[in-house]
Amino acid sequence: MCGIVGYVGQKTTMDVLLGGLKRQEYRGYDSAGVALITEDGLIASAKKSGKLQALVDEVTAHPLAPGHTGIGHTRWATHGAPSDVNAHPHVVDGGKLAMIHNGIIENFAEIREEMLEAGHTFLSETDTEVGAVLLGHLVEQTGDFRTGFAQAVNRFQGAFTVLAIHQDAPNVILAARHNSPLVIGFGDGENFLGSDVAAFVEHTHRAAAVGQDQMVEITPEHVRVTDFAGTPVPIDEFEIAWDASASDKGGWPSFMAKEITENPDAVANTVRGRVVDGRVEIPELSGLGEDAIRKFSRIILVACGTASYAGQVGAYAIEQWARIPVEVQLSHEFRYRDPVITPETLVVSISQSGETMDTLMAVRYAMERGAKTVSICNTQGATIPRESDAIVYTHAGPEVAVASTKAFVAQITALYLLGLQFAQVRGTLDDTAIARNIAELQALPGKLEEVLTTGPEIRQLAKWMSDTPAVLFLGRHVGFPIALEGALKLKELAYIHAEGFAAGELKHGPIALIDHGQPVFVVVPSPRESAEIHSKVVSNIQEIRARGARVIAIAEAGDAAVLPYADEVIRIPLAGPFFEPILAVVPLQIFAMELADAKGLDVDQPRNLAKSVTVE
């Protein structure tokens, strides 16, 4: 979950490192640090706890000597509390070697005891320093940086990406990855490494993902990739599809505010090129084959957090359209319950980053048992799509705010496209129904633009509620996972108690939470196409209103039935039942952001959270 950057070349190395860390700060912001090999051949480093700005202030007040080889790191703490001494890089071996690390070295205790017996000492509480000391020990024993590095990474167990520099190899960065992301950036007389392409997209659009159990050596002139045994492996280069300006705020007060306004583009870009002559065609699914799609007897969607709620929304639609049983399972629970998987099972993973460790492990588990796998992902070259049988990229563009917004609506859109293509192949929807649903998808960007105009109204509501200790969310059918997502956003951003419930569950326990003045958001389905569910939700509203709840209804334009029972009504445009949730979630995103802002909180970097969860 940490952000890593490495650079060799003639640019001002400190500028490259700090710029790369800034664009990856969403990956970790407990502490940050840099190390570089100076022009006189020594290693200079600086690191500070807190957000990246603390490091920037430090190197501004006390500049490091210039150099052309360097590594940088933003940390999300696992082993050891956030502090200056626990921050990376860890400089060892009398100042000759510096190492940074993303992940967890699970056998650190064993290695630490071995190094203590060998006479080494430790300054920090981290597993990373243990790895760095082992690396320095092996370099000293072998007399060679590359040999010692290879031996060290073959000793590490767990999930890790490590980058190291040594003063005896002043123009070299060595790196390795196992179950943790690493990408290469290719330049002219310079090369880069990063946890993701944001680390170097300002400087180059040429990139390659480093595969599982591979090592990398970069110098200004060359890039060499091998497996852990030292055998060279081919490099599969790709072009980054967005530029550095996409990861800038662009004048918005926060990345989250910017990304909420990009919801319409996220949907449009995900649909673009996938509707041909009135039919859904996802070229990336061609590898599955139509025969396999016809034979699938079960679909399992695996995901974590917000992505799992996108899966729950998508499951309703896929099951109805394609007539295949669909279930949603949390990635971190999936493989531990010994699920029944056959060659006719399709496992669809959903991950914005494509590096979510629990989801990656679920995909590998499914493939080992013969299932076909499809990845829904927003990040080019990420591990999960590379290891899956097929990929549906969402094309939402970089999402920097830790709490997901536009990636969520893009994930639902991708799931709907998947469901419609499966329905076509299996013949479970006629041409009229396919055309109607495609038209609904294509109309969503314009309708989302309308929803965004409710921003000022929701901002005022959030200010009024800035001292609210708890908020509840209710929904039925596809509105239920939207209620869950609305509650999650509020927990993530405003640090208050928030719960989402299926409205039908009220009388089975949760109604006990309703007291005078309790705010409750209710996602109200359309009275036009979901009349039965609509009447039940209106009854639920009456039940909680009778017990003193303050009801904020999210309802379609023209729905008069909720007016007598709602204290506030936020309107969304008319849409089909499966397309309402994409519209209804946006006011909840805005509300969570505005309430957090009213409380003076950082909406882009909530406490204790990181964007990409790369450890189990």
Predicted local confidence at residue 55, as pLDDT: 93
pLDDT average, residue stretch 589-600: 96
CATH of 3-245 among 3.60.20.10, 3.50.50.60, 3.30.365.10, 3.10.620.30: 3.60.20.10
Q: How far is CA 545 from the centre of its chain?
A: 37
Instruction: Return the pLDDT at 304.
Output: 95
What CATH number belongs to 455-598?
3.40.50.10490
SS3 category, 578: coil
Helix locations, 287-430, DSSP H? 290-295, 305-322, 331-334, 357-368, 383-387, 406-426
* Residues with active-site annotation: 2, 611
pLDDT attached to residue 609: 82
pLDDT confidence bin for 159, thresholds 50/70/90? confident
pLDDT tens by residue, 364-388? 999 999 999 999 999 888 889 999 9
Which residues, in sequence order, are CB contacts of 368 under 8 Å at separation 6+?
none
φ, ψ (nearest 5 deg) of residue 387: -95, -5
**Whether the predicted pLDDT of 573 surpasses 90:** yes
Same fold, 252-450 and 455-598: yes
| Residue 94: Cβ within 10 Å count | 10
- Predicted confidence (pLDDT) per residue in 61-88, tens digit: 999 999 999 999 998 777 788 899 999 9
Check pLDDT > 70 for residue 114.
Answer: yes
Select from 503, 525, 520 the least CA-distant residue to 572.
525
Note the pLDDT of residue 244: 67
Q: How far is CA 546 from CA 520, 521, 542, 570, 615, in A?
A: 13, 15, 6, 21, 46
Locate tokens 């890039």: which residue?
Answer: 223
Lowest model confidence (mean pLDDT) among 22-31, 190-199, 350-359, 543-552:
22-31
pLDDT value at position 246?
Answer: 67
Report the pLDDT averaged over residues 103-108.
91
Q: What is the pLDDT of residue 289?
A: 87
Q: Please state the domain extents for the chain.
A: 3-245, 252-450, 455-598
Q: What is the pLDDT of residue 614?
A: 57
Q: With 80 as the cut, is the pLDDT of residue 230 above it?
A: yes
CB 49, CB 107: distance < 8 Å: no
Per-residue confidence (pLDDT) for residue 613, from 0 to 100: 67
How many other CB atoms are there within 10 angstroms of residue 358's CB atom?
Answer: 22
DSSP string, 226-237: EETTS-B----E
Output the pLDDT for position 379. Answer: 87
Res 611: pLDDT: 65
How long is the chain?
Answer: 616
Residue-level pLDDT at 174: 98
Question: How many other CB atoms are found less than 10 A from the CB of residue 427?
Answer: 10
| C-alpha–C-alpha distance, residues 443 and 186, integer Å | 40
How many angstroms separate the CA atoms of 575 and 583, rounded? Answer: 9
User: What's the whole-number mean pLDDT along residues 126-147?
Assistant: 96
pLDDT at residue 249, rounded to an integer: 77
* Residues contacting residue 411 through CB under 8 Å, at least 6 positions apart: 307, 310, 311, 314, 350, 352, 376, 378, 394
Give the helix/strand (H/E) hosting 510: none
Looking at residues 595-611, what average pLDDT do you find? 89
pLDDT in tens, 393-447: 998 988 889 999 999 999 999 999 999 999 999 999 999 999 999 999 999 999 9
Which pTM does this prediction carry?
0.84
Q: What is the pLDDT of residue 148?
A: 97
| Predicted pLDDT at 444 | 97
Sign (positive/negative) of CA torsion 426, 428, 430, 436? Answer: negative
Mean pLDDT in the chain?
A: 93
- Integer Cα distance of 205 and 239 in angstroms: 6
- Lookup: tokens for 497: 């108690």
Q: Which two tokens stand for residue 191?
A: 């090369």
**Percentage of the chain with pLDDT > 70?**
98
Stretch 215-234: mean pLDDT, rounded? 96
Task: Give all strands of the β-sheet with 390-393 in edge-to-edge order.
Answer: 326-330, 298-303, 345-351, 372-377, 390-393
Residue 242 has pLDDT above 80, yes or no: no
- Selected residue with higher pLDDT from 5 and 614: 5
- Read off the pLDDT of residues 488-519 as tens digits, 9 standing for 90 and up: 999 999 999 999 999 988 889 989 889 899 99
Residues near 216 by Cβ (< 8 Å), separated by ≥ 6?
174, 175, 176, 182, 184, 193, 210, 223, 224, 225
Q: What is the CATH number of domain 252-450?
A: 3.40.50.10490
| Backbone φ, ψ for residue 136 (5° rounding) | -60, -40
pLDDT at 248 over 80: no
- Sheet of strand 497-502: strand arrangement: 497-502, 470-475, 519-523, 550-556, 568-572
pLDDT mean over 159-163: 92
The predicted pLDDT at position 1 comes to: 61
